[in-house]
Amino acid sequence: MNTVTTLFLSTFTTLLAIINPLAALPVFLKLLEGQDKGTHRRIAWKACCYATLLLFFFLIFGALLLKIFEVPLSMVRIVGGIILMRIGFALFMPTSDTASIIPNAPTGTGDTVAFVPLAMPLMFGPGAIATMLGMASFVRHPLAEFPSLAAIVAAMLVTMVTTYLILAYANTVVRYIGPHGIDAVTRIVGFFVAAIGMGLIFHGVMEAIQTYLLEKTH
């Protein structure tokens, strides 16, 4: 499997697991209780558009922010990996403290819930930020490594389309999968999030060691 395909799959699976639209279904249905299917689809579309714009912002300007604050990419991978591992463990082994890791936002009415709490923090929270910064750290030269950048963008778009479809047809999904199915899927994706987070930590530590040794030899 080539690097571009690996980057696409890693970004897609991590973002989908972090956003976890199946776990967001109960919140989505509660916020839009009593609304018709057309409203469900409109709010789901707006929320996904907002979340996509936020993801693009951190993909494009994330590296610039790191340069401004002089934070090395190796540290971003390590910290991002720690965040992903924590979220992964929270999804895999939910406890009473899980709500403090995956925040619950206040309720709202009408289209106001599309941005808060649906787009942020349910879709775009600390885990999504860490994922975008971590994946963007693999693309050091966007023009020279355009296929890798395109793979990340494609993964983002596919993730948001998948999220939209799940939310837009929330009642149908809940009816077929049921609460036990949602719980099982949540635990499975939590395991993979933790594994991907460990991978980011490993690459970050190795890069930091190589940078230290290179500076020491000079």
Confidence band for 164, pLDDT divided at 50, 70 and 90: very high
Task: For residues 28 and 31, give the distance between their C-alpha atoms in angstroms, rounded to a whole number.
Answer: 5
Query: What pLDDT sits at residue 94?
Result: 67
Task: For residues 175 and 189, give the distance between their C-alpha atoms in angstroms, rounded to a whole number.
Answer: 21
Evaluate whether 132 touches 66 at the Cβ level (below 8 Å): no
Q: State yes or no: pLDDT of 105 exceeds 50.
A: no
The dihedral over CA atoms of 31, 45, 17, 171, expressed in degrees to the nearest 10, equals 50
Alpha helices, DSSP H, located in the chain? 3-19, 21-31, 37-68, 73-92, 98-101, 126-136, 146-168, 170-217
Please give the domain boundaries of the chain with CATH numbers for all domains: 3-217 (1.20.1250)
Mean pLDDT, rounded, for 31-56: 92
Query: Looking at 32-41, 57-66, 102-111, which range is the least confident one?
Result: 102-111
pTM of structure: 0.74
Evaluate whether 33 touches 172 at the Cβ level (below 8 Å): no
Structural Rg of the chain based on CA atoms: 18
Task: For residues 67 and 65, give the distance between their C-alpha atoms in angstroms, rounded to a whole number.
Answer: 5
The Cβ of residue 199 has, within 10 Å, a number of other Cβ atoms equal to 17
Query: What pLDDT sits at residue 183?
Result: 80
Q: State yes or no: pLDDT of 107 exceeds 60.
A: no
The Cβ of residue 38 has, within 10 Å, a number of other Cβ atoms equal to 8
